[in-house]
Structure 1
């Protein structure tokens, strides 16, 4: 049966079912208000076989008709009607490109020089000239790019900030610790109300000391400065004063002798600096031998934070880099400092390097041996060429990235990377500024590239005699 006759019969059935007042006589359609349309006439040219409502509603007519608002029904030719016959196979679109070979549709390493089907009846996919170029590039169809979610981002100049986080402890500044000890045999006559942990000021009395050696030197000095025959202290007087200084007698005690002109029985020993008392060994009535430590005082207005940094980060450390220190005992508070010393030794057990940071501590909040967490900014203020970290394919021995070349083609590039920071990695070689780099689904492109290389190897092997 011809297509037009089938279409007409189908429309007649639809219209009759809808109560449209149409009847069929021996394969022809008739209407009470329209002349019949023969199959031969319907098949010839673009003559319509029926008319349909212009809004696409299920209203039909075999003759020209208007809607209630005066619009014409749409003419439906035979070519636009439904067909119940099997469509003839379409001829493949003509192309000027030459087919090199056909590859397996399931991605298997199997190629064919002629069209064929696999075991499931699927056609092999043609590979044209230029699709398997020797430059290693990969070409993907727009559909595959959309399905796999391939995204690109241009390489650009950025300032990378990398923060190293490491634990540490607070230590005293070695240059701000003073020890009070006797340089001659002495006795402690009295000790001030000072204990370990007390805060003292410079010049504050700590104890009274009696020393026969100090008393003898004091008498000699007073005798010299009171002598009228020598016309004053002179050179000999300066030597006597120097002897007192060599015995570490405080300057305040020497000045008091000069003013009073008398030799005191005991000498007031005072604090050499502002700070806290770390050690108090002086006891009233005790005998102190030369070198015995009676007091140890430390100034904690400036302290050190010793940070243990992993050995792998040693190459990024420089003196002068800013550091933010947070004490675990003071939530939310920050202490700013800079790296002053990088110790030239690696801890054998922990594989860490010790870094010293000087911190201002005006309110004495930071105490010795307190735990802290440090954040070292190792970034450079200079902008560098960088791409997102997801764009880099790292095999351990080499790094690569895919550059989008347009029209679905992606070119692999060997690159050299630098430091990382903020989700980006520095590109030192292999990519120019502005080139679009694949940042998403690049592993799928890499898999496609490996498949392509395998197929090319099989096809080259098959081409050899």
Structure 2
């Protein structure tokens, strides 16, 4: 019901501003003031229509006058992408993450039941036993040397006995060093398998090599994997991403490493992002005659995703440019671009403008308005419908009648329609209906 009342109020406002002969009602007909000039619409200050007209200011901004635009798409930074492989063959017992999850460096990703883990642990235990034996032999060799040296001082043994004890001690020290080196080898093997020397389990834990997001996952629990060279998971740090584009070879001379570029994305229309050229390919594609250019973007906010489409804008020159919001520009019936400028409160003047290329949510304007002018950006079609026919241009066949005609004006029943409009306006405003208008 509220929508109906709101519509009636709007139509009533239009009826008050539009005559029943298919033309805009002049101030002389409604208020006794002089008639508005062609191309001018005057809206009474108490008209509900004013609330529907959104205005904005004509601005003078810096915009590129010459630029290279190349289509591209977002890719993960290849320097921050890791393909996770299994350290051993075995059966996947659990997968601890899913695609899209954020992971930290060294976080467990999955576990594998593998006989290789048991053999690695056995090798470690054997190496540890060898270390223990070698250290015991070293202690004995040291004691034998001490005893032989003491006996030699008391002329109880020959010099060769001392020399033999010293040789045995040297060999014992070498054996201890070798035993420790062998044990360290087995410890490193355990570490690769996700195990420690204090554990005795057969479950191998695969951990994340870096912090990032899981982009791809190709294993499920229960699956047996024998190929330790195949990737089972892709993890990428997306704090920075690359936009890869193909720049025509005729423009590549303008692009330099570390140069700032503007990037637009299909996913975020009207927004412009900043990047810096990080790589320019050394060869030209012989098929397309283009050169691959990659620009790096900050993505700590996480808005950019690999495979998003967009384009790189390399700006060659910038100049001060007059712009208006794109919604302010419409075409009249003969195809000319126009805007409505509010020259004083409630007075809107139609201006013909010459427009240039669109830049995001604004349009370049060559002439017709000046910075600081107030233009209508929402409700433009309402004002266009209230123009005198001569100001709107030739009426198109099958065109939509103006707002006054939509209320039933222009027919033989115009007086009755005017009374009905007045009655509806009174209802919409919440006022009582005069007795003269009651049915």
TM-score normalized with structure 2 length = 0.44
TM-score normalized with structure 1 length = 0.41
Higher helix proportion: 2
